Structure formats: C-alpha cells, structure tokens
Structure 1
Amino acid sequence: MSATVTVVGGGYGGTAVAKELDDVADVVLVEPRDSFFHNIAALRALVDPAWADRIFLPYDRLLRRGRVVRDHAVRVAPDGVELASGVRLASDFIVLATGSTYPFPAKLDVDDSAAAKERLRTAHEQLAAADRVLLLGAGPVGLELAGEIKAAFPDKAVTIVDPGHDVITGEDLPDEFRAELRRQLAELGVELVLGTTLTAEPVPDPGTLKPFTVTTQSGRTLAADIWFRCFGGSVLTDYLADELAVARQPNGRLDVTPDLRLAGADRVFALGDITAIPEAKKAAAARAHAEVVAANIRTLLEAGSSADLATYQPDEPGIAVPLGPRAGASYARKYGGLLDAATTSQLKGADLLVGEFAELFGLVD
C-alpha cells in the first residue's frame, strides 16, 4: 500500500507538492475552495472583468491518482488531520500549506468561485463609476493596483497614502528600483502621499462607491469616491494540535527546520507564507519550498528516516512589480539588477502567469 500524504491547503505551494507526489503516494489535498484562485492576476480581474473567468482554475484535473477534499482542517496532529466535517484523515506525511489572507481584491475570503467572480464584477462596476480612487498602502499590492487602474482608466485620479517615506519599504531592495517605480507612477499620474497616515479610516466599506473625505496626520484633506486597503495580510495556523503547536510563533508563522519540517515532527512539513523563514512571502517562494518538500518526502519514502534530506536556501532578494500590462519594474541581482518595463511585462505583466498555471492544472490541451 502507498503512503498517504495529506496536503492542507491548495494554493501555490500545496498544489505543487500534491501534483509532484501524485505518482508515488496516495495524495489527499484538503482545500475549502472549489477552484484554485490565481491571486497573482486578481488586480487585473478587478479592472477587466474578462479576466475573472481565467483566474479560477478547477482542481479536477490537477491529480491523476490522488483526490481533492473540499473541507477545512480544524485540527492537525502528527498522525492525522481532522476536518470541519468530522472526518479524520490518517496520514503518513502531512504538508501544511494554508497560505495567508489579505484584503480584497488582492485575495478573496469566499470559497465559492461563482460568488467570488460576482464580487469582483460588482467591485469593477463600482470602480468604473468612480472618478477618484484612494489606495492605502504603497507596497507591491498598492502600486500594482494603481498601475492596473491607470492602465484601464487613464483619466481616473489615483492617490496612494502610506506611512513609509518611500514605496515598498521594509525589503532589501536598492534605491534605484524604488526611484524607477516612482518615476513611472508619476508618468501615469498617480499621486503618492508618503510619510503620513489617515486620522481615521474612510467611512464607506472598501470597494464601495460613495464619495468621502479623509484627513491625513499631516493635516491634508483628501477626497475620493472609492478606496481599497492594500496592506494587512495574516496567516491562520491555529489548527495545530498537541506537540505541533509549539512551532507556532505569536504572529502565527511556523518555525521550520532547514529541510522544512516542524521541529520534532519528522513527517510534518510546512511551506509558503506560514513559515517563519525571513524572506519575502511570494508565490515563487512557496513553489520553491514545494520543490524541497516534495523531494524530501520522496526520499523518505524510498530510503526511510535515515536519509539525507535537501535543505531550502532562500533566493537572493528580487521582485517584479507590474504597473499594468506594459509598465512596471523588476529587480533581480542575479540577472543584472534593475529590469525595465518591457522585461517586467515579459516576466509577469502581460499574461500574469495565467497560461503557466492553466497548464499545471491540466486545462491546456
């Protein structure tokens, strides 16, 4: 009989592990959503409804031998996973890949793809009718959303407010990269209001068309018709039980060993945003984690607990920030440093990797 590998979470890392191990184990992928949500392209889907159908990829062709269970994990112990339905999945190996939450529209908090698409379409209609847009947060999400809005609606006024004194602070990136993003944002007509916060959050709900005014701590009054929150991600790992819970830090992230196991749990791995690895939390990192986890489980299946396992080494700092389909900038030290808008469009901006993931999910004939 094959070993059972239970993968908790069907995001970028979890799906990669499940697919890689499908030929050597009985894989069970636990995921509450009915479709994979390609959130890399979510902001494009907000400004262009034609993208909404392209970023929800059904799970039914992902695995050939394994199965996808649509459910929530409520308790994970070293030997099994208990689901919200009451079912318990006895497991030889467990992979924790539950990812992170983030405010709409970068991520969604609904599990049904039809409801999610409707929410995106409603928000699009509200945005299309607005003349002035306020974005809170000058990180990658805020800048990407500003670029998408200006690409789709060049005449809209877009303002970004952030307490930092520059864009994308807190990451090990050179000043020239930030300067290039500021230059392009200025060309697009996006106003940056940096080094200050609002005295109070806007009264309307985010993504709702309703004119309002707000005041910054520096004393400036800003008027807008709609706003979006572009900060505030979090992880959910409170399902850990028994001795596994000691790996959980106060912020919810999990301490992992170099081979991506929880300390003291030889057959429980964790990957992606929920890990405490000091690196940018990106889909690319989750997929790199998945390669190590899948390789190590294969090794353990073949050679047992005495096997030498692969270790994960974080990549050099790098980032791609498209500002719509044709603008943006990237930085990758190993590829020469600052990369221009045309290269950024080739890497990410034009297709936003939709074709690559459609192929992964068996949706390309």
Structure 2
Amino acid sequence: MRQTVAVVGGGYGGIEVARALDEVADVVLIEPREDFHHNAAALRAAVRPDFAHQTFIPYDKLLVHGRIERDAAQQIAPGQVTLASGRTIAADYVVLATGARHPFPGKPAELDTASAIASYVELQTRIAAADRIVLAGAGPVGLELAGEIKAEWPGKEVILVDPAPAILPERSAELRTEIERQLADLGVTLVLGAALPASFKVAPGDVAPFTVELTDGRSLSADLWLRCYGADPVSDYLAGSLQTARLSNGRVRVEDSLRVHGHDRVYAVGDITDIEEPKQAVAAMAHAAVVAANIKADLGLGEPTVYEPPGSSILIPLGPSGGAGEHPGMGVLGAEPTAQYKGADLLLGHYAQVFNR
C-alpha cells in the first residue's frame, strides 16, 4: 500500500521533493498559488512588462501520478494537514516547504497569476516614470534590481542604501570589488552605513518625490523607493507537538536528516529551516534531495542520508549581460560566466523543462 506524502508549498524545494517521490508514493502538493512563480526572475519582470508572464509556470504537468491541491495550509500537525478551505488531508509523511514572504517585487502578494502579472506591469510603469530611484538594501536583491533598472533605463539615477559599511559583507573582498566596479560603470550610487529612518512614511513603489534624512544625517532625494531586504519565514500554521519546533524567528528546528526536531515523519526544507546558510533556491533543492532520499529509505528504496551544507556559492546578475559571483574552487566569476549560467535567461529554460512545458 503506497504511503501518502503531503508536500506543503510548491516553491523550489517543494516541487523537487514532489517530483522525486512521484513514482514511489501518493504525493499531494499543496500550494495556494495558481502557478509556480519563478521568483529568481522576478526582478527583470519589474522592468520589462513583456517578461512578467514568463515567470509564472502552470503546475499541471509537474507530476505524473500525484496531484496538486490549490489551497493553503491553515494548520499542520503530524499526519494531518488542515486546509484553509476546511478540508483535511491525512498523510503518512508531511514535508514543510512553505518558504518565506519577501517584499514585492521579489515575490508578489497576489495568488492568482493575472493579478500578480498586473502588479509587475504597474510597477514597471512607476519605475519608468521615476527619474531617481532609491533601493533600500544592497544585498543580492538590491544589487540585481539595480542592474535590471540600469539595463532597461541607463539614464536613470539608482541609489543603493544599506546600513552595513560594505556590500555583501559575508562574501570575499574580490567579489565585492568586482561588483562595485560594475556598479560604478553602470552609474549606480552606493550609500553605505545608513538607512531610511523608521519614521519614513512614503510607501514603497509609490511615485512620490521625497527628501529624507538618513540615519547617519545625510539627506537624500528621490522619486520612488523600493524595499529590497527582509524575509519572514512562513510557519505560523504549525500546531500540536510541531509548535515546539518553531523558533521565535519563525524558523523550524531540524535535525541533520532534515526531520523536524522530535518528529520521525515530518520534514522541512528551504527558507523555513534553522540551518545557518544562505537562504537560496539551490539550498532548498539540496534539502529536497536529502528529504526524498530519507523517505525512500523508510520505504525500503535506498539508504538514509544527512544534509551537509556545501561551500557557499552565489551568482548576482546585473542585467542580462553583467554581474559576478563566486563558487568554491572556482574563485570569482565575472560578467560573462554569470550571464552564461544565470543572467541571460535567469534559468527560465531550465524551469520550463522541470515543468514539462
């Protein structure tokens, strides 16, 4: 008798767990979005209205045997998922893959595709109307969005503001130098060691000319600003004994097998885990491989394994032909390999194959 596996969340980690177990278990993939959102390409959608629709891919061809439940998890306890619709799904295994909420345009708030695309198209018109744009946060999201804006509108002023004294402080000095060089060539201004004050009331995404005093006393004027930092893990649905594994920051405590602490048949992958590593799609996919292997081992179809965080790599496109990254054993990668591996099509071709389009 086949075991039922409920995979809660259809993002990068969830789809890989579902695909890997589709042949050996009754997989139920629970996801409230109408279509998969390839948010790794979302920042280009913010500047090109003809691009947004490409970042949404239907789930209908992802699984051969399993099924998709378009619904949200309202409460999860071991062996049972209660949906927002009121229905319940009994499961032998539960995989938590609900990720994190990110500010728009990193992820859209809308769950239906037409409304989400409309939000990107509207943002594009607002960016087009602004001459001077502040991006709050000089991490990977802010850097990539700056590159996308400059690729589409080279004449716009783009200012990156971040409270840290340097961009990408956890990365190598060589990578920082290369990114800073390309930003200078693009004409992007870096304002580091300062942030927008907590009292700042202009809504992100509104074209509303403003002048603001930053936290270090410097004055800054612009027409529009966007928030490019902050992620909130989605785990408030945990109930019963699972609540004890939820930490105060919303992350979920996991063992090296990626089982949720204290539970043999509940796993977690991706951004909600408490693993100290960059929260990237590549990590979620690596988690998925471990979880699938361990569930298969329980079914007598292989050997159990543990997750060992790999050496950290990153690729930051700065528009379709720019950017830089680094990978263990390869050092710093410049604009050409970054564009080749990621920037040119932002992995859209890869995900079209994943979803059998």
Q: 1:185 aligns with which of 162, 173, 183?
A: 183
Secondary structure, counterpart of 1:16 in structure 2: helix
Between the aligned partners of 2:178 and 2:345, the Cα distance in structure 1 is 22
**5+ residue gaps in structure 1?**
none
Deviation at 1:202, TM superposition (A): 4.5
* Deviates further, 105-114 or 211-220: 211-220
Could you say if the C-alpha distance between residues 204 and 320 of structure 1 is closer, same or farther in structure 2, counting changes exceeding 3 Å? same
Partner of 2:331: 337
CA contact (8 A) 1:99 1:274 kept: yes
Deviation at 1:160, TM superposition (A): 0.8
Matches within 5 A, 1:322-333: 322-333=317-328
CA contact (8 A) 1:202 1:212 kept: no
Between the aligned partners of 2:344 and 2:213, the Cα distance in structure 1 is 36
Partner of 1:154: 154
Identity %: 52
Q: Does residue 52 in structure 1 map to residue 47 in structure 2?
A: no
CA contact (8 A) 1:203 1:212 kept: no
| Number of equivalent positions | 357
Ranges of 4+ aligned residues in structure 1 off by more than 6 Å = none
Q: Does residue 11 in structure 1 map to residue 11 in structure 2?
A: yes
Partner of 2:245: 247
Matches within 5 A, 1:281-300: 281-300=279-298
Deviation at 1:308, TM superposition (A): 4.9
Between the aligned partners of 2:252 and 2:216, the Cα distance in structure 1 is 38
Q: 1:314 aligns with which of 309, 313, 331?
A: 309
Matches within 5 A, 1:84-103: 84-103=84-103
Deviation at 1:205, TM superposition (A): 1.7
CA contact (8 A) 2:293 2:303 kept: no
CA contact (8 A) 1:329 1:340 kept: yes
Q: Deviations over 1:23-54 (max 9, x none)?
A: 11111000000000000000001111121111
CA contact (8 A) 1:12 1:287 kept: yes
Q: Does residue 72 in structure 1 map to residue 59 in structure 2?
A: no
Matches within 5 A, 1:1-365: 1-169=1-169, 171=170, 173-200=171-198, 202-302=200-300, 308-334=303-329, 336-363=330-357
Between the aligned partners of 2:269 and 2:8, the Cα distance in structure 1 is 10
**5+ residue gaps in structure 2?**
none
CA contact (8 A) 1:32 1:111 kept: yes
Between the aligned partners of 2:239 and 2:204, the Cα distance in structure 1 is 35
Opposite residue 278 of structure 1, the aligned amino acid is E
CA contact (8 A) 2:22 2:66 kept: yes
Secondary structure, counterpart of 2:349 in structure 1: helix
Between the aligned partners of 2:269 and 2:277, the Cα distance in structure 1 is 12
Deviation at 1:217, TM superposition (A): 2.3
Between the aligned partners of 2:129 and 2:196, the Cα distance in structure 1 is 24
Between the aligned partners of 1:162 and 1:185, the Cα distance in structure 2 is 15
CA RMSD, Structure 1 to Structure 2 (Å): 1.2
